[in-house]
Structure 1
Amino acid sequence: MKLRGIKAFPGMEDSILPWMGKTMKELDLFVSAALSQQGVNLTRKQMICMKILEEHGPLPQSELAFLTDRDKTSLTRLINSMEKKNVVARIPSETDKRVNLVHLTTSGRKLLAKTAPIMVKMVKKLESSITKEDREAFKRVLKQIHQNIESQSK
């Protein structure tokens, strides 16, 4: 099977990396559509950001950028869009007025709670035809790629 619309660089015809990128783009669209069908107006990236805030509590934008692997500019755009939806808010830090803490609003917590069963159902559906052994092998490969990236980044 070939990737639609993409021709691999010479020597990369058997690489899994283009498939990873294409799959993540398709997953973004699939998640947004699945959530939208249930009346949840969130993207996968917004949901991840909200989940991190739920787990860690209010965070400085710089730390949230680090935890979400986003640059400060794209995180600012993401937070702006989430503020318009009233799911997060920025509050000045009590210890450093130059720092804004991002926190989940009450409506953000409610919306995030609503997404959990939708996401569980969606993941089960997407992975239903994949054996446990194949999932474990795939995770091992992804972890190895991650380790390779980390070792090359040093």
Structure 2
Amino acid sequence: MPTKGAGGRGARSHPGVQITEAPIGSLLLQAVRAHAALATSLLADLGLVAPQEVVLLYLQDHGRMPQAELVRFLGRDRSTVTATLQAMERGRLIVRTPSRTDQRAMDVDLTDTGRALCPRIRAAWAELERLTFGRLAPAQREQLKAGLTAARDAARAHHENKETRP
């Protein structure tokens, strides 16, 4: 059930639920949702929605690539990624062209507009980091990073093992 903030009546509820059997997982979900809501607001100031900013930064870091690589990177179905890329293309952030090596495939690259937006995206992510984690002491940040890394790696390993079983 949603929890109330310390202010009681009229205080905003935290997103999510407290699950007695999973206190860390439910708190993590609440934190992720609050972080995502703040990220959505910061991205809106740039005229973007998730995961458009991640696509732009990935293309900036890796250059022109097959659309199928972006599907793999984002971990979403092909039609969802295609819709995202089409919107980005309409916004003149990316360009999709037929692959030079596979006539059935499309390659994706940044436009000058998309490339120029990347420093502002990185600044928005830095601001998101500051707003979300700025109250933590440096040692707390390091502990949080270590704990989240271990949790991520454990979940990935379990998922990969599950998928490789017959």
TM-score by length of 2: 0.78
Aligned CA RMSD, in angstroms, stands at: 2.1
Task: Give unpaired runs (5+ residues) of structure 2.
Answer: 4-13, 162-166
The letter for the 1-side match of 2:54 is I
Q: Distance in 1 between matches of 2:86 and 2:141?
A: 36
Is 1:146 matched with 2:157? no
Please name the residue that 2:164 is paired with: none
Do 2:15 and 2:33's aligned partners in 1 also have CA atoms closer than 8 Å? no
Q: Tell me the equivalent position of 2:51.
A: 45
Residue matched to 1:99: 105
Give the structure 2 partner of residue 25 of structure 1. 33
1:58 and 1:135, CA in 2 relative to 1: closer, same or farther beyond 3 A? same
Give the Cα separation in 2 of the matches to 1:96 and 1:82. 23
Q: Does 1:11 align with 2:17?
A: no
Seen in structure 2, the aligned counterparts of structure 1 residues 142 and 122 have a Cα distance that, compared at 3 Å, is closer
Corresponding position: 1:67 with 2:56: no
The Cα shift of 1:7 comes to 4.8
Q: CA deviation at 1:80?
A: 1.7
**Structure 1 vs Structure 2: percent identity of aligned residues?**
22
Rg comparison, structure with higher value: 2
Query: 1:28–1:44: 8 Å Cα contact kept in structure 2?
Result: no
What is the CA distance between 1:54 and its match in structure 2? 0.7
